[in-house]
Amino acid sequence: MAAGGQGGIRPVRWHRNTLVVIDQTRLPQEYVERTLRSVEDVAEAINRLRVRGAPLIGITAAYGVALAASLAPEPTAIRAAIDQLRATRPTARDLFAALDRMERAATHNPADPARVLLDEALAIHAADLTAGRLIATQAAQVFTTPGWTMTICNTGALATGGEGTALGLIAAGYRLGLVSGVYVLETRPILQGARLTAWELQQLDIPFQLLPDSAAASLIATGRVAAIATGADRIARNGDTANKVGTRMLAELADRHQVPFHIVAPRTTFDAATPSGAAIPIEQRAGVEVMVFNGQPVAPDGTTVYNPAFDVTDAGLIGSYVTDAGVFAPNELEDSRIWN
Amino acid sequence: MAAGGQGGIRPVRWHRNTLVVIDQTRLPQEYVERTLRSVEDVAEAINRLRVRGAPLIGITAAYGVALAASLAPEPTAIRAAIDQLRATRPTARDLFAALDRMERAATHNPADPARVLLDEALAIHAADLTAGRLIATQAAQVFTTPGWTMTICNTGALATGGEGTALGLIAAGYRLGLVSGVYVLETRPILQGARLTAWELQQLDIPFQLLPDSAAASLIATGRVAAIATGADRIARNGDTANKVGTRMLAELADRHQVPFHIVAPRTTFDAATPSGAAIPIEQRAGVEVMVFNGQPVAPDGTTVYNPAFDVTDAGLIGSYVTDAGVFAPNELEDSRIWN
């Protein structure tokens, strides 16, 4: 079984034919594990953001297929589980990369699918942990100007198999003395920055300041932001990148103020089949996420909401892509090692 | 007494030697009026954002001085009231413009200060209503390309004596058929957009969409934003403008995407004594505004927060200043009619 990740956090683990996840909607107030016993449970956990983060939803979905096979090893049931999980969320490439891989494993090894598919899910999880560790080794190459790094959403242990992408890189930079602290955007509407990244940084004892997303512009304008590093949900063949809504804002501001802007992602996020950002499906989520807060309405009834979960940052705004296969400038993106 | 403003909303009114305000912290769930009976009540209402918006805090503070004079007409008590109100919030020019005017009235007409100061407060209120109506008459000149207008915070009746600044202008544009609808940024952390602007636009029956502040960038990038119009808290002599945090983000994005960007403010917001944005004091508010929502914490205990209430937009990013004295391009700002 895959070991615990950064800070001892294990966002997902296989335990006696069930899947145990941290219910991330309850953090930071409560640390609650949730046992998923069916594909329906897994689909619900992904759709309701109990597990979130592109690499983690890929891993969790893979385990979901293994869970389905352990309950009903017939090919049609496995196929139905894959289809159900594929429909949970549209944007993150890692989800489809993991499910494609599970589908290939089921097809190529029809005997003992329960064992084969669990092995494949564990391998996907292990590969993500390795990818996270490799990403972290790039810190010295990325953080060439010491100072505070800005980030959005959560890209730490909780977004992955346990090692993180951008936040893992930033933590490695901190341990090297190249990152002094982290400016954390709260990340409306779900507040993954305030709820999850702040919590992880406290566990790691790394200094940070939390800010409303709208305060990023004035902070960047002061010159106090040495670098910006974010994760990604899907990187198209031309380098256009879908990530948490607000990423494009940061990239545009970074470009104006000449702050290095890094996209940090494992190879599972790179999608050779999507030519450009225009072809990335952007999930529109329910308005209630913006209008209601902790059960209390904050906008009047009948309000129409624009609530895209992601936005697309043009490749031209991205300074580098930090991956488990190395750090790539935009003009090096052709490198075949990245694409899957 | 000054009449009700746009949509019949009366954010502040003098009533039998008390001041009646709408408690804006309770909207949109509850419409609650609050009776202020002392300078302490008035200072608390301004500091706690029960009344907010640069013009409205100026008017409310003026009435607060009248209230003080009605309770204790001695010059030292009046002076103390002015000093107390001056210390409530640091950024909005309108507050100091109104208190300076009250101070002059007290000095020049020492006889019957209660009557003189109430007359002066009523005159300040009436002048703001006139300024709002004059601003609204500029709509045809401002919205030259029909479409949706984006705005941040609340700049409607609730931010002023009753007519609004940017939102009054936008409403006038809508009535002319030049504005099709309003993209309303929710405006973290206090959510004036979600709570107040959405509510006012519903009263006015103007179509709108609410969005997280971080979603502005992707919306602007689509080309669906025909114009951006915001209010102001203080405009320095060189045109640099302090306004609700996030305004600078919009101005930078507008500049990149060639969307007309308008600052809308009465002359009371223009401050000839402040040479540039660097000299504008920016209020830093308590972290609890970002960390706690409706009494529930959203970030872990011990989190440090960067929570400036305002940011400064460089004059070079501003397309026009829409005022009660006319519409001014940046190079016309020398015009002496604007400055006070």
**Interface pTM (ipTM) of the complex?**
0.95
Question: How much is the average pLDDT of B294-315?
Answer: 95
Using DSSP, state whether A177 is helix, strand or coil: coil
Compute the average pLDDT of residues B301-316. 97
Average pLDDT, chain A: 96
For residue B254, the chain A residue with the least C-alpha distance is: A252
A-B CB pairs within 8 A amount to 178
Q: DSSP alpha helices (H): ranges in chain A?
A: 39-47, 54-71, 75-86, 93-108, 113-136, 139-142, 166-175, 192, 198-204, 216-221, 247-257, 288-291
Interface contact B198-A300, CB threshold 8 A: yes
Of B155 and B7, more confident: B155
Tell me whether residue B201 is exposed, middle or buried, using C-beta atoms within 10 angstroms of its C-beta: 0 to 12, 13 to 18, 19 or more: buried
Contact A186 B188 (CB under 8 A): yes
Q: What is the pTM of this model?
A: 0.96
DSSP classification of residue B308: B
Q: Is any Cβ of chain A less than 8 angstroms from the Cβ of B253?
A: yes
**B211:A306 CB<8 A:** yes
Which pLDDT score is estimated for A4?
55
Catalytic residue among B41, B128, B213, B233: B233
Q: Looking at residue A337, what is its pLDDT?
A: 87
**Contact flag A213-B210 (C-beta cutoff 8 Å):** no
Tens of pLDDT, residue by residue over A188-211, are 999 999 999 999 999 999 999 999
Residues with Cβ < 8 Å from A336, sequence gap 6 or more? Answer: none
Q: How confident is the model at residue B3 (pLDDT cuts 50, 70, 90)?
A: very low
Q: Of B206, B163, B196, B121, nearest to B10 (Cα)?
A: B163
Q: Cβ of A253 under 8 Å from any chain B Cβ?
A: yes
Do B171 and B261 touch, CB atoms closer than 8 A? no
CA-nearest residue to B291 within chain A is: A194
Residues in chain B with CB shorter than 8 Å from the CB of A183 are 306
Q: Rounded to the nearest 5°, which phi and psi values hold at A59?
A: -65, -45
Give yes or no for a cis peptide into B28 (omega within 30° of 0): yes
Whether residue B2 has pLDDT greater than 50: no
Q: Does A209 touch chain B (CB under 8 A)?
A: yes
Q: pLDDT for A13-65, tens place per residue?
A: 999 999 999 999 999 999 999 999 999 999 999 999 999 999 999 999 999 99
Local structure of A117: helix, strand or coil: helix
CA distance B189 to chain A (A): 7
Cα–Cα dist A186/B300, whole Å: 12
B306: nearest CA partner in chain A: A211
Chain A touched by B80 (CB under 8 Å)? no
Over residues B74-88, the pLDDT tens digits come to: 999 999 999 999 999
Considering only CB atoms, A302 lies closest to which of B202, B248, B306, namely B202
Residue of A27, A29, A218 to mutate, testing the B interface (most B Cβ within 10 Å of its Cβ): A218
CB atoms within 10 A of CB B334: 9
Active-site annotation of A, residues: 233
Q: Does B214 touch chain A (CB under 8 A)?
A: yes
pLDDT grade for A110, boundaries at 50, 70 and 90:
confident
Name the amino acid, one letter, at A318: I
Q: How far apart are CA B230 and CA B134, in angstroms?
A: 16
- The angle, 0 to 180 degrees and rounded to 10, between the axes of the packed helices A93-108 and A113-136 is 140
Q: What pLDDT was estimated at residue A2?
A: 43
Nearest CA among A54, A61, A81 for reference residue A21: A61
- pLDDT at res. B1: 37
Instruction: Give the pairing type, strands B296-297 and B304-305.
Output: unpaired
- B191 near A CB under 8 A: yes
Instruction: Name the CATH superfamily, with its identifier, for domain A138-332.
Output: Translation initiation factor eif-2b; domain 2 (3.40.50.10470)
- Does position B32 have pLDDT exceeding 50, yes or no? yes
Residue B86 pLDDT? 98
Domain ranges of chain B: 6-134, 138-332
Q: Who contacts A68 (Cβ-Cβ below 8 Å, separation ≥6)?
A: A38, A39, A77, A78, A80, A81
Q: Do A298 and B195 touch (CB under 8 A)?
A: yes
Smallest Cα–Cα separation from A149: which of A127, A171, A176? A171
Percent of chain B with pLDDT strictly greater than 90: 94
User: CB–CB of A308 and B29 under 8 A?
Assistant: no
Contact state of B291 with A210 under an 8 Å Cβ cutoff: yes
Determine the distance in angstroms separating the CA of A305 from the nearest CA of chain B, rounded to an integer. Answer: 5
Per-residue model confidence (pLDDT) at position B57: 98
Residues B54, B59, B64, B65, CA torsion sign:
positive
Q: Which residues 95-114 of B have a C-beta within 8 angstroms of A? A: none
- Contact (CB<8Å) A214/B211: no
* B284 touching A (Cβ < 8 Å): no
How high is the pLDDT of residue A3?
Answer: 47
Which tokens is A182 given?
């982290």
B246 and A188: CB-CB below 8 Å?
Answer: no
Q: How far apart are CA B192 and CA B320, in angstroms?
A: 24
Does B318 have pLDDT greater than 80?
yes
CATH number for the domain whose boundaries are B6-134: 1.20.120.420
Cα A96 to Cα A86: distance, rounded to the nearest angstrom: 7
pLDDT at residue B6 tops 80: no
- Of residues B52, B54, B216, the one with CA closest to residue B148: B216
